[in-house]
Structure 1
Amino acid sequence: MIALLRGTLLEKSPNQAIVDVAGVGYDVTIPVSTYSALPNPGAEVRLRIHTHVREDAIALFGFNSAEEKQVFEKLIGVSGIGPKLAITILSGLAAPDLIRAIRNSEIERLVRIPGVGKKTAERMVLELKDKLIAPAAADGATPEQPALSEIDRDVLSALLNLGCARPVAESAIRRARAAGAGEDFEPLFRRALEFVR
């Protein structure tokens, strides 16, 4: 599967980028937030890619940041949300705002996004509320929890894959850090496992 493209940006529009990688032009569907971050055509560009395979097509969805890609992949896991709608949702609300809206059950904010009805918004909140990491506050407001480092997020992902509930996993990571587990993935992961109950 294609996970990343780095090459020359040939064309861009608010929902599409064409990237030349070693002479091959890849057609990538993107959200508006990624479009805003793209350089002018002719410049080098790097996009994180989600490859979506169907019986009749292979589609590439590109993102400027790992956070956008992760939110997209969580969205398409929700019943009734396909890749096109997920791109529309990420175009309607920037990833940090979308995460806050879902975690705070702001149904009225979510239904303002084109294509998102009340039932879809309710499903997003129900299925994703505990699966999305709160973004760090950018406006001076205090975030709900201290922002997780990249290693913390990797350990969190591993614990969630083992079936831990998010609040339990986040608490275990904080306790492992407080117990001096260090900065490397494996010792932190093993120490956090000790605190999972």
Structure 2
Amino acid sequence: MIGRIRGRLVHKQAPAILVEVGGVGYELQVPMTTLFQLPELDSEVSLLTHFVVREDAQLLYGFIDDRDRSLFRQLIKVSGVGPKLALTILSGMDAQSFAHCVQRDDISSLTALPGVGKKTAERLLIEMRDKLKEWLVRAQDEQGEESRGASLAPFTDIVADAEGALITLGYKPQEASRMVSVVNDDSVVSSEELIRRALKSMVKV
């Protein structure tokens, strides 16, 4: 089991990143909540990981926050929720926001995420409610704390990159284009910021 990885961040293209450790490049899938907090390329990065072994692939998932990794591990235990959908959920909301969704029985915010239908959302609320009690308490204690910031290197074509990342997460091309166009303006300087705005416009948490 690979539990943590630390090395040089050499590439990031949502939702995948590449971390070089001792001359070996490790490809990780990360949620947008982690991608937004990554440092600039060629900087050192340390990520908590979850390793998935399938018959046709070995996949490594990375997380900045331990609560996000813990939530990911709980989500993939829910019937009908695999790693890809769990990553999509964590791309739309972090562990604290998900806990608030559960607390409010907020089905609409969950069904706004690609791949999450009403039945899946209801199942998530039921199965995760008891597991999130500790997170709910911690979330209340952390209200008002400043979020961690990170400088992000802009991509050449931020609109195309943002649309591509949303499509990878499961949104249809036309829907991704519409989401980006609604929130895009002159103040946007990176694809990560554009993706963040687009996801935030879809999820009211």
TM-score clears 0.5: yes
Instruction: Give the match for residue 149 of structure 1.
Output: none
Higher relative contact order (CA 8 A, sep 6+): 2
How many residues get paired?
A: 140
What amino acid is the match of 1:129? Answer: R
Partner SS state of residue 97, structure 2: helix
CA distance in 2, matches of 1:14, 1:95: 19
Distance apart, 1:115 and its partner CA: 1.3
What amino acid is the match of 1:52? Answer: V
Instruction: Give the match for residue 76 of structure 1.
Output: 76
Distance apart, 1:136 and its partner CA: 2.4
RMSD of the alignment, in Å? Answer: 1.1
* Identical-residue share of aligned pairs (%): 45
| Pairing 1:48-197 to 2, within 5 Å after superposition | 48-132=48-132, 133=134, 134=136, 135-137=138-140, 138-139=142-143
Distance apart, 1:104 and its partner CA: 2.6
Gap runs ≥5 in structure 2: 145-205
- Mapped pair 1:34 → 2:34: yes
Distance apart, 1:14 and its partner CA: 2.5
CA distance in 1, matches of 2:126, 2:43: 41
What amino acid is the match of 1:21? Answer: V
What amino acid is the match of 1:136? Answer: A
Moved over 6 A (4+): none
Cα-to-partner distance string for 1:86-112 (whole Å, 9 max, x where unaligned): 000000112210111023311112111
- Mapped pair 1:5 → 2:5: yes
Partner SS state of residue 136, structure 1: helix
Report if aligned partners of 1:93, 1:113 keep a CA contact under 8 Å in 2.
no
Distance apart, 1:139 and its partner CA: 3.8
Query: When the two structures are superposed, what TM-score results if normalisation uses the length of structure 2?
Result: 0.66
What amino acid is the match of 1:26? Answer: Y
Gap runs ≥5 in structure 1: 141-197
Larger Rg: 1
Distance apart, 1:15 and its partner CA: 0.8
Cα-to-partner distance string for 1:130-163 (whole Å, 9 max, x where unaligned): 00121323445xxxxxxxxxxxxxxxxxxxxxxx
Partner SS state of residue 42, structure 1: coil
CA distance in 1, matches of 2:13, 2:92: 16
Cα-to-partner distance string for 1:27-56 (whole Å, 9 max, x where unaligned): 000000100000011000001000011112
Partner SS state of residue 35, structure 2: helix
